[in-house]
Amino acid sequence: MDEYDEKIAYYLEIGVVQLEGVDEYGEIIYSVSDTAKELAPELWQSHVEYIDNALIDLYESGLITIDYDENLEANIGLSEEGYEKARSLGLIELDTDKDIPNN
């Protein structure tokens, strides 16, 4: 077992990572739970940085728009291409009925 597999096994064991399924390419899909903030802060920090960088990339690519309402809460709009890229990056939860074809 390599270091990556050992880390995933550990994170699964302590409950900060959950197995969500398999995508159309056979890649395993995991999610990171909020409990990682306390139980695995290094994982949580890495997760937050990944999301921040992915959103910045989508914005700089013109695939998302950000508007603010009267309470200064951000509303993010995605183009169709932006939605697909965000989904492929794991930023949007998969709808397993719609996004993963039946085999």
Domain membership of residue 103 (yes or no) is no
Which of 44 and 24 is assigned the larger pLDDT?
44
Would 67 be classed as within a structural domain?
yes
Structure tokens at 101: 């074809």
15, part of any domain: yes
User: What pLDDT shows up at residue 28?
Assistant: 86
Residue range 9-39, pLDDT digits in tens: 999 999 999 998 887 788 888 899 999 999 9
Q: Looking at 22-36, 71-85, 88-102, which range is the least confident one? A: 88-102
Domains: count for the chain: 1
The answer to whether position 99 is within a domain reads no
Q: Is residue 28 part of a domain?
A: yes
Domain residues for the domain of 11 are: 3-94
Does residue 61 lie within any of the structural domains?
yes
E strand residue ranges, the chain: 17-22, 28-32, 64-68, 74-78
Q: Is residue 101 part of a domain?
A: no
Which tokens is 9 given?
Answer: 């096994």
| Residue entry with tokens 């997760």 | 47
Q: Is the pTM of this model over 0.75?
A: no
* Greatest C-alpha distance within the chain: 52
